[in-house]
C-alpha cells in the first residue's frame, strides 16, 4: 500500500462538537444507533435497486439484497453489513467526515440540556450515524461502491476524536460494513438476543431481510443464518393487520425521526389509478422547514421498488412537512423527475394525496391538545396554502388558527369557524388588525371602538398573515376587513345617535382639519375626524386600496422596492388633546402639538420616525411650557 492510499484527516469543527456530545452527553436511548445503521443500510439497498433498473452491469451485485448483523461477544463488536450501493473513497470522506449536509449547526443550536429531549433531535437533523459513538469507542466503516472495482474500496476509521483515518483497501463484495467496537460498559449490545429485540422493535418492516446467525443450541453444531425481521413492506399489508406501534416504528424508519408522529393515513386506491399511500404528520418540524428550496416530498416506490427519496410532485409546497411513501402500479419502473412532471397520472395522484393530507389534518384538529402541537410547529407553513392551492383554499382556511382580542395570550388557537360563530348578529365582516408582534397588535389604537362595542378582532402578528389574507379575501361568505384601512363603516353595528354625533363633530372640527391638512400636506394624504378611537388622540390609517403597513415592512425587509404612499391622519374629536389643539391660538404651539400627535400615531402603529431627535425636542418643549 502506498502512502497516498492512507491518510489522516480532521473532522469539521461542528463534527467535533457533535462527537463530544454523542460520547459524553446523550445517554437517554442508546439503542437508537442500531435503528439508524439499519435504516442507512436499507437506504443504500434502495438506491442500488434503482441503479439496477438502468445499469445491469454493476460490479459484484448479488441477487439477494440483504442486511446482515454479526455480534461477537468475546471481541465486544457489532457489525452491520449491507450489499447496497456502497461508497467511494471521496464519498466516505464527504458523508462521514465533513457532514456538510447534515444540519449539524442547527442541531447544536437546538439543544436544550435535557438528555432525553436532545437525543430525540438525532434523527430530525440527519446525524444518526454519529449515534454509534454513544456505545462505541471506535468505529470502522469498510465500503466498496457498486460502480467501482474491488481494489478501489475504502476503510474509514474513527475513535471519536478530532481526526479520522481513510485508506484504500480491497473488498470482494460491493456494499458497506460498519463495525462498532463497544465501550467496556456497553457489552449488553454484544448479545444476540438483545440485538434481535432491537431489530424487531425498530426495523421489523424493513423491506429487505435482516439476517443474523441463529442462537446456538448445540455446542458442536454451526449455527445457521436466519431472517429476524418480517421483511414485508408495511404499506402492502391491510390496515387491520398493522398495529399502532408498527405504524409508529415504520414512520421512524422512513423519516429518520425519533419521535412518534402525530397522525397517519394509510390508504389503498384501486380503479383508474392503482396506488398505495402511507402519509404521516410529524410531531416536530425539521430544521430546514422554512427553506423552501430544501429537498422535500414522500418516498416513491413503483411496484415496491424504490425510485426516489424526495418525490416533491405528489404534494404542494405548503404540505412539505408531510412524510411517508407512495407505491404506484401505474408508473414505469425507470421513472425520472422529468417523466413525473409530464405524467397525467401524477396530477390525479397529487390532487388525491393533497385532499388526503388535509383530511388527516382536519381529523387531528378534533384533539385540541395535539392540534396545538401541530400548529405551533407547522402553522406558518400551512398559511402558505390559500395562495398556492386555490382549489382547496376554503378547506385550508378552516384549518388555520389565530389569536384574537378574546385570546388570553399570543397562542394561536382560534379558528375562523369559531370566530364566525361568535360574531354579533349585525356583523357582516371578519375584522382583523396586522402588526409586527402580538403585543403591538393587541394594543393597537385601531381596536378601541371594537373593544367598546364588544366586537372580536383577529390579531395578525405573523409576517405571512397580511399576505395570506390578500389571497383569502373571505371565509364562509364573510369578507375580511382590516380595521386600519379605509373609512370605518360598522354598518348596522352603529346606532342613529352615533352617526349623528359623527356628522356634528365633522362640522365642528372642520377648521382644525383644514389647518392640520395644510401643516402636514407633505406627510399625509388626508386629515379627518374619526370615531374608531375612544382613548387615543390620533391614529394613521391606510387607504382602502393601498398596501397595509405590515406587508410593506415585510417586503422592505426582503429588499424589495415598495411604492411610497401617504396615509390618512385621523383625529379623535372626544380626546382632550385634540380639543385643546382646536382651541390653540398660538401658531407655534399649535404646530408643535399637531406634529407631536402625528409622530405619536406613527409610533403607536410600530413605524420608525424619520426625525426622532426632532420629535423629542418638540415634546420636551411642550412639557416645559406645561410645567411653568
What per-residue confidence (pLDDT) applies to 101?
Answer: 42
Q: How far apart are CA 565 and CA 586, in angstroms?
A: 31
Contacts of 262 (CB under 8 A, 6+ apart): 281, 282, 283, 364, 370, 373, 374
All structural domains of the chain with their residue ranges: 3-232, 235-368, 492-627
DSSP, residue by residue, 472-487:
H-EETTEEEEETTBSS
Rounded to whole angstroms, how far apart are CA atoms 36 and 129? Answer: 6
Return the closest-CA partner of residue 440 out of 467, 460, 413.
Answer: 460
Nearest to 281 by CA among 356, 380, 349: 356
Helices (H), 398-538: 416-422, 438-442, 448-452, 465-472, 496-508, 510-519
Tell me the C-alpha distance between 95 and 89, whole Å. Answer: 10
pLDDT of residue 111: 53
**Separation between Cα atoms, residue 23 and residue 257, nearest integer Å:** 20
Cell numbers given for 180 = 462498532
**Residue 421 grid coordinates:** 360563530
**Is the CB of residue 438 less than 8 Å from the CB of residue 403?**
yes
- Do residues 59 and 174 make contact, with C-beta atoms less than 8 angstroms apart? yes
116 in Cβ contact with 27 (< 8 Å)? no
User: Which regions in the chain score pLDDT beneath 70?
Assistant: 1-4, 11-29, 56, 58-63, 97-128, 216-220, 305, 332-341, 556-558, 628
Euclidean distance between CA atoms 139 and 132, whole angstroms: 8
What pTM did the predictor assign? 0.71
pLDDT of the residue at 204: 76
User: pLDDT, tens digit, for every residue of 27-50?
Assistant: 456 887 887 888 889 888 888 887
- The 10 Å Cβ neighbour count of residue 210 is 26
* Nearest one of 479, 357, 453, 464 to 402, comparing CA atoms: 464
Burial letters 480-489, b for 16+ CB under 10 A, else e: bbbbbbeebe
Residue with cell 404506484: 328
Answer yes or no: are the C-beta atoms of 234 and 242 closer than 8 Å: yes
Answer CATH for 235-368 from 3.40.50.720, 3.30.420.40, 3.40.50.300, 3.30.230.80: 3.30.230.80
Fold adopted by 492-627: 1.20.120
Instruction: Give dist(CA 131, CA 8) in Å, integer.
Output: 22
Tell me which DSSP letter residue 330 carries. S
The pLDDT, as a whole number, for residue 22 is: 56
What is the residue whose three cell numbers read 411604492?
Answer: 563
* CA 600/CA 597 separation, integer angstroms: 5
| Separation between Cα atoms, residue 136 and residue 11, nearest integer Å | 18
pLDDT at 49: 83
Cα pseudo-dihedral 548, 553, 559, 563, rounded to 10: 40
Q: Hunting for cell 465500503 — which residue is that?
A: 143
Task: State the pLDDT at residue 367.
Answer: 94
CATH of region 3-232, choose from 3.30.70.1450, 3.30.565.10, 1.20.1260.10, 3.30.460.10? 3.30.565.10
Which 3 state secondary structure label does DSSP give 409? coil
**How many Cβ atoms sit within 10 Å of the Cβ of residue 35?**
24
- Distance linking the first and last C-alpha atoms of the chain: 95
State CA 473 to chain mean position distance: 25
Residues linked to residue 153 through DSSP beta bridges, in sequence order: 169
CA atoms within 13 A on the CB side of 6: 7
**Which residue has cell 463534527?**
15
Residue tagged 373571505 (cell numbers): 474
- Torsion angles phi and psi, residue 598, rounded to 5: -65, -45
Give residue 178's pLDDT: 96
CA atoms within 13 A on the CB side of 327: 15
Amino acid at each position: 500500500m502506498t502512502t497516498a492510499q492512507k491518510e489522516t484527516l480532521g473532522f469539521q469543527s461542528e463534527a467535533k462538537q457533535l462527537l463530544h456530545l454523542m460520547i459524553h452527553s446523550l445517554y437517554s436511548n442508546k439503542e437508537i444507533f442500531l435503528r439508524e445503521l439499519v435504516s442507512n443500510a436499507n437506504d443504500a439497498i434502495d438506491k442500488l435497486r434503482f441503479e439496477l433498473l438502468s445499469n445491469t452491469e454493476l460490479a459484484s451485485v448479488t441477487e439477494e439484497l440483504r442486511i446482515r448483523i454479526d455480534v461477537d461477544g468475546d471481541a465486544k463488536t457489532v457489525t452491520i453489513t449491507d450489499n447496497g450501493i456502497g461508497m467511494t473513497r471521496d464519498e466516505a470522506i464527504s458523508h462521514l467526515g465533513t457532514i456538510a449536509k447534515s444540519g449539524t449547526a442547527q442541531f447544536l443550536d437546538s439543544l436544550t440540556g435535557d438528555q432525553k429531549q436532545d437525543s430525540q433531535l438525532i434523527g430530525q437533523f440527519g446525524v444518526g450515524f454519529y449515534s454509534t459513538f454513544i456505545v462505541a469507542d471506535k468505529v470502522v466503516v469498510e465500503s466498496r461502491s457498486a460502480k467501482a472495482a474491488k481494489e478501489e474500496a475504502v476503510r474509514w476509521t474513527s475513535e471519536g476524536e478530532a481526526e479520522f483515518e481513510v485508506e484504500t483497501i480491497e473488498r470482494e463484495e460491493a456494499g458497506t460494513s460498519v463495525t462498532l467496537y463497544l465501550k467496556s460498559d456497553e457489552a449488553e449490545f454484544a448479545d444476540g438476543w438483545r440485538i434481535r429485540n432491537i431489530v424487531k422493535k425498530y426495523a421489523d418492516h424493513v423491506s429487505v431481510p435482516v439476517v443474523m446467525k441463529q442462537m446456538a443450541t448445540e455446542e458442536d453444531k454451526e449455527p445457521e443464518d436466519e431472517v429476524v425481521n418480517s421483511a414485508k413492506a408495511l404499506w402492502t399489508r391491510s390496515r387491520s393487520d398493522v398495529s399502532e406501534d408498527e405504524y409508529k416504528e415504520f414512520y421512524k424508519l422512513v423519516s429518520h425521526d425519533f419521535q412518534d408522529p402525530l397522525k397517519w393515513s394509510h390508504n389503498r386506491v384501486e380503479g383508474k389509478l392503482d396506488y398505495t399511500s402511507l402519509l404521516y404528520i410529524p410531531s416536530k418540524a425539521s430544521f430546514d422547514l422554512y427553506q423552501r428550496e430544501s429537498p422535500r416530498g414522500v418516498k416513491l416506490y413503483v411496484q415496491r421498488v424504490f425510485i426516489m427519496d424526495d418525490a416533491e410532485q405528489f404534494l404542494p409546497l405548503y404540505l412539505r412537512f408531510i412524510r411517508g411513501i407512495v407505491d404506484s402500479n401505474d408508473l414505469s419502473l425507470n421513472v425520472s423527475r422529468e417523466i413525473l412532471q409530464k405524467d397525467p397520472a401524477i396530477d390525479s395522484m397529487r390532487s388525491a394525496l393533497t385532499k388526503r393530507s388535509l383530511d388527516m389534518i382536519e381529523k387531528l384538529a378534533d384533539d385540541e391538545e395535539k392540534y396545538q402541537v401541530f400548529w405551533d410547529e407547522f402553522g406558518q407553513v400551512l398559511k402558505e396554502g390559500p395562495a398556492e392551492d386555490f382549489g382547496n383554499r376554503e378547506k385550508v382556511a378552516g384549518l388555520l388558527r389565530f389569536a384574537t382580542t378574546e385570546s388570553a395570550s399570543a397562542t394561536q388557537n382560534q379558528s375562523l369557524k369559531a370566530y364566525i360563530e361568535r360574531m354579533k348578529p349585525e356583523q357582516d365582516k371578519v375584522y382583523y388588525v396586522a402588526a409586527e408582534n402580538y403585543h403591538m397588535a393587541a394594543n393597537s389604537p385601531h381596536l378601541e371602538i371594537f373593544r367598546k362595542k364588544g366586537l372580536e378582532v383577529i390579531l395578525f402578528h405573523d409576517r405571512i398573515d397580511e399576505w395570506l389574507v390578500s389571497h383569502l379575501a373571505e371565509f364562509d361568505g364573510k369578507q375580511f376587513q382590516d380595521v386600519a384601512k379605509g373609512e370605518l363603516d360598522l354598518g348596522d353595528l352603529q346606532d342613529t345617535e352615533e352617526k349623528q354625533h359623527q356628522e356634528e363633530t365633522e362640522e365642528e372640527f372642520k377648521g382644525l382639519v383644514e389647518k392640520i391638512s395644510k401643516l402636514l400636506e407633505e406627510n399625509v394624504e388626508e386629515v379627518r375626524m374619526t370615531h374608531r378611537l375612544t382613548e387615543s388622540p390620533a391614529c394613521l390609517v391606510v387607504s382602502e386600496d393601498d398596501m397595509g403597513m405590515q406587508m410593506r415592512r415585510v417586503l422592505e425587509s426582503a429588499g424589495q422596492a415598495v411604492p411610497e404612499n401617504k396615509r390618512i391622519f385621523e383625529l379623535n374629536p372626544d380626546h382632550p388633546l385634540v380639543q385643546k389643539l382646536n382651541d390653540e391660538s398660538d401658531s407655534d404651539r399649535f404646530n408643535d402639538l399637531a406634529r407631536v400627535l402625528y409622530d405619536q400615531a406613527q409610533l403607536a402603529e410600530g413605524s420608525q420616525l424619520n426625525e426622532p431627535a426632532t420629535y423629542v425636542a418638540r415634546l420636551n418643549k411642550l412639557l416645559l411650557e406645561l410645567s411653568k
